[in-house]
């Protein structure tokens, strides 16, 4: 059982939904980013998605693209992102960390080396948005064999024919993308998302969490109410990009978490 499995079991036993927060590692700089990440569990975050900055983030909207650029300009690397996870683990051995990004930095490091290093620093799962199920031998299956969850995205265009392929080697949870397009575009509507979540849950026992288009506590509550949890990324990253103090960013996160937990 991974920390992700344990967290969902704990939440289910308590009758609560998950709140998942995404931040870009190294944004706006290493020290500030680490301070934010360390503060997330205290603000109510159940699972942390830690973005790996990349030069060509094709699935991300302007907000997260800008965050990745800030992080890269401040000197963030894949190694420093692993270092950040290791520093976080010194004070927290229970909150799951999912590293989210693109395959190129992992490929350049070497899959075996990356997986060994990620496991050693306490990473629990991976979301790699540009590796489809047809490429499972590249990273998904080796990650599973190394004891890491490989979390797949399902989208509004994932039809009943495609869905079994998407679910095939997925573990930890399924991330349902509520809207078609890039991050930060549009707003999630619970009425539209509910039947899609039900369709996925009919095919898997894994928790289904919903992300994209969630930017207020009320929206987090509405989406968590029809799924197993809600993910917020762009709305948090935007505040970091605006230079908000760490405590104000964490206060905003706390409100979102309370919304999801009250579902």
Question: What's the structural domain count of the chain?
Answer: 1
pLDDT at 190 (0 to 100): 82
- How large is the average pLDDT for residues 157-186? 85
Encode pLDDT of 44-57 as tens digits.
Answer: 999 999 999 999 88
CATH at residue 152: 3.20.20.70
Let me know if 187 is a catalytic residue: no
| Residue 79 lies inside a defined structural domain of this protein | yes
Res. 169 pLDDT band, cuts 50 70 90? very high
CA angle 78, 64, 84 (to 5 degrees): 30
Among 27, 60, 124, 196, the active-site one is 60
Rounded to the nearest integer, the mean pLDDT of the chain is 95
pLDDT of 184 > 70? The answer is no
Among 5, 46, 49, 196, the active-site one is 49
- How large is the average pLDDT for residues 8-26? 98
| Residue 67 lies inside a defined structural domain of this protein | yes
| Residue 35 lies inside a defined structural domain of this protein | yes
Let me know if 93 is a catalytic residue: no
| Residue 215 lies inside a defined structural domain of this protein | yes
| Residue 14 lies inside a defined structural domain of this protein | yes
pLDDT of 182 > 80? The answer is no
Task: Give residue 138's domain range.
Answer: 3-258
| Residue 71 lies inside a defined structural domain of this protein | yes
| Residue 224 lies inside a defined structural domain of this protein | yes
| Residue 263 lies inside a defined structural domain of this protein | no
């Amino acid at each position: 059982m991974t920390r992700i499995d344990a967290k969902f079991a704990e939440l289910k036993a308590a009758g609560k939904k998950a709140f998942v927060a995404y931040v870009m590692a190294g944004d706006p700089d290493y020290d500030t980013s680490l301070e934010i990440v360390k503060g997330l569990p205290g603000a109510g975050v159940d699972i942390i998605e830690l973005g790996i900055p990349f030069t060509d983030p094709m699935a991300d909207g302007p907000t997260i693209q800008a965050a990745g650029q800030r992080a890269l300009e401040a000197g963030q690397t894949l190694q420093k992102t692993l270092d950040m996870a290791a520093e976080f683990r010194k004070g927290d051995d229970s909150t799951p960390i999912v590293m989210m990004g693109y395959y190129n930095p992992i490929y350049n490091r070497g899959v075996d080396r990356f997986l060994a290093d990620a496991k050693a620093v306490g990473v629990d799962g991976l979301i790699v948005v540009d590796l489809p199920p047809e490429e499972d031998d590249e990273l998904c299956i080796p990650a599973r064999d190394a004891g890491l969850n490989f979390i797949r995205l399902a989208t509004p265009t994932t039809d009943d024919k495609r869905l079994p392929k998407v679910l095939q080697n997925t573990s930890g949870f399924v991330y349902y993308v509520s809207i078609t397009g890039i991050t930060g575009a549009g707003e999630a509507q619970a009425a539209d998302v509910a039947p899609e979540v039900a369709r996925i849950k009919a095919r898997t026992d894994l928790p289904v969490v919903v992300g994209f288009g969630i930017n207020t506590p009320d929206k987090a509550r509405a989406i968590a109410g029809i799924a197993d949890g809600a993910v917020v990324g762009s709305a948090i990253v935007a505040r970091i990009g605006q230079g908000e103090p760490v405590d104000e960013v964490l206060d905003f996160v706390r409100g979102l978490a309370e919304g999801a937990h009250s579902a």
